[in-house]
Amino acid sequence: MNITSIKPQWKYVRRILHVLWLFLTVGSLVFVCMKIGEPENRDADLVLSWLMLVVCFPSSIIGMFVNAALGYLGQGFIGDLSVVSGVILTWAVFFVLGYLQWFVVLPAGIRRLRRWRNRKSGSKSR
């Protein structure tokens, strides 16, 4: 199998994964914001937090600390946030960190590793 025939297919797989990740994260925020006011869904914000922890892992570990710091600082300067604004703030922190991790840093690292590998294999053949 020729390697050049695989590259265009991988491009589509990356695009599909990108769209699925965006749909999952934005869809979960919309769903939780719609359900958060109902008494039987009082733990909807926890479900969103756990989902974002999983989808954005391992950068979500940093996100937990950022959310805790923002919550602490927010209470000191702004006062208590409403549940919906707290959910949106939590989601935004996880979303930004997860997006940077999966769609900026990881592809850049893979490109850098490929360039390094190509340079290394090029120097051996000389």
Q: Which residues of the chain have pLDDT under 70?
A: 1-8, 76-81, 123-126
Domain of residue 74: give its range.
Answer: 3-124
Q: Tell me which H or E stretch contains 26.
A: helix 3-35
Q: What is the pTM of this model?
A: 0.81
C-alpha dist (Å) from residue 90 to 5, 12, 47, 48, 109: 41, 30, 12, 9, 27
90-126 tens-digit pLDDT: 999 999 999 999 999 999 998 899 899 888 887 665 5
pLDDT at res. 4: 54
pLDDT at res. 2: 55
Q: Which two tokens stand for residue 53?
A: 């922890």
How far is it, in rounded angstroms, from Cα 29 to Cα 98? 14
Number of domains in the chain: 1
